[in-house]
Chains A and B, each alone.
Chain A
Amino acid sequence: MSAVHPVDHAHDHDHHDHRPYGLMRWVTTTNHKDIGTLYLWFSFSMFITGGLLAFGIRAELFQPGMQLWKPELFNQFTTMHGLIMVFGAIMPAFVGFANWQVPMMIGAPDMAFARMNNWSFWLLPVAAILLVTSFFVPGGATGAGWTLYAPLSVQQGIGMDFAIFAIHIMGASSIMGSINIITTILNMRAPGMTMMKMPMFVWTWLITAYLLIAVMPVLAGAVTMLLTDRHFDTHFFNAAGGGDPVLYQHVFWFFGHPEVYIMILPAFGIVSQVIPAFARKPLFGYSSMVYATSSIAILSFIVWAHHMFTTGMPAAGQLFFMYATMLIAVPTGVKVFNWVATMWKGSMTFETPMLFAVGFLFVFTMGGFTGLILAITPVDIQLQDTYYVVAHFHYVLVAGSLFAIFAGIYFWLPKWTGHMYDEKLGKLHFWLSLIFFNLTFFVMHFLGLAGMPRRIPDYSQQFADFNMVASIGAFGFGLSQLVFLYAVIKCIKGGEKAPAKPWEGADTLEWTLPSPPPYHSFETPPVVK
Chain B
Amino acid sequence: MAVIRANGQTLRKLLVVAVAMFGFGYALVPFYQKICEVTGINNLQNADAVVNTQADLSRTVTLELDANTRNDLPWTFRPVVSSVRIHPGQLTQIVYEVHNNSDQFISGQAIPSYGPQLAGKYIRKLDCFCFAKQDFKPREIRKMPVTFVLQNELPTDIDTITLSYTFFRVEGPVKPAAAAVAREPKTAT
Interface residues of A (CB under 8 A from B): 112-113, 175, 178-179, 182-183, 186-188, 213-222, 225, 233, 235-236, 239-241, 244, 247, 250-251, 254-255, 312, 314
Contacts and interface: CB of A to CB of B under 8 A. Distances in A.
11 contacts: A113-B11, A175-B18, A182-B10, A182-B14, A187-B3, A217-B21, A219-B25, A239-B111, A240-B168, A247-B28, A251-B29
A217 B22 contact: yes
B39 interface: yes
A183 B11 contact: yes
A207 to B, nearest CB: 14
B28 A250 contact: yes
Contacts of A235: 171
Contacts of B18: 175, 179, 213, 216-217
Contact of B25 (A112, A188, A221): A221
Interface string B129-167: 000000000000000000000000000000000000000
A251 B3 contact: no
B117 A312 contact: yes
B41 A221 contact: no
Nearest to A179: B14
B3 A188 contact: yes
Contacts of A187: 3, 6-7, 10
Given A213-B17, A314-B41, 12 more contacts: A112-B7, A175-B18, A183-B14, A187-B7, A214-B21, A216-B21, A220-B25, A222-B25, A241-B170, A241-B171, A251-B25, A254-B28
A221 B29 CA distance: 11
Contacts of B58: none
A103 B6 CA distance: 17
A241 B168 CA distance: 8
B87 interface: no
Contact of A247 (B3, B14, B32, B171): B32
B25 A314 contact: no
The 10 closest A-B pairs by CB, nearest first: A221-B25, A240-B168, A217-B22, A217-B21, A218-B25, A183-B10, A179-B14, A112-B7, A187-B6, A183-B7
Given A113-B11, A188-B3, A236-B29, A218 B24 contact: yes
Interface in B28-83: 28-29, 32-33, 36, 39, 41-42, 70
Interface in B164-183: 168-171
B15 interface: yes
Nearest to A155: B71
A219 B32 CA distance: 16
Contacts of A244: 32-33, 36, 42
Nearest to A255: B25
B19 interface: yes
Interface in B84-119: 109, 111, 117
Nearest to B12: A179
Contacts of A314: 39, 41
Chain A interface SS verdict (over half):
helix
Interface of B: 3, 6-7, 10-11, 14-15, 17-19, 21-26, 28-29, 32-33, 36, 39, 41-42, 70, 109, 111, 117, 168-171
B110 to A, nearest CB: 11
B143 to A, nearest CB: 23
A214 B14 CA distance: 10
A440 to B, nearest CB: 35
A215 B21 contact: yes
B111 A218 contact: no
A423 to B, nearest CB: 41
Contacts of B117: 312
B87 to A, nearest CB: 27
B7 A113 contact: yes
A219 B26 CA distance: 10
Contacts of B17: 213-214
Contacts of B25: 217-222, 225, 251, 254-255
Given A112-B7, A182-B10, A186-B10, A239 B22 contact: no
A202 to B, nearest CB: 16
Nearest to B5: A187
A231 to B, nearest CB: 15
Contacts of B41: 312, 314
A251 B26 CA distance: 9
A292 to B, nearest CB: 24
A240 B169 contact: yes
A254 B18 CA distance: 15
Nearest to B120: A312
Contacts of B26: 221, 225
Contacts of A250: 28, 32
A217 B21 CA distance: 6
A179 B168 contact: no
Contacts of B32: 244, 247, 250
Contacts of B19: 217
Contacts of B15: 179
A470 to B, nearest CB: 32
Contacts of B168: 239-240
Nearest to B10: A183
Residue of A233, A235, A312 with highest tally of chain B CB at under 10 A: A312
Contacts of A112: 7, 10-11
Nearest to A310: B117
A221 B14 CA distance: 17
Contacts of A233: 171
B169 to A, nearest CB: 6
A447 to B, nearest CB: 26
Contact of B21 (A213, A236, A247, A312): A213
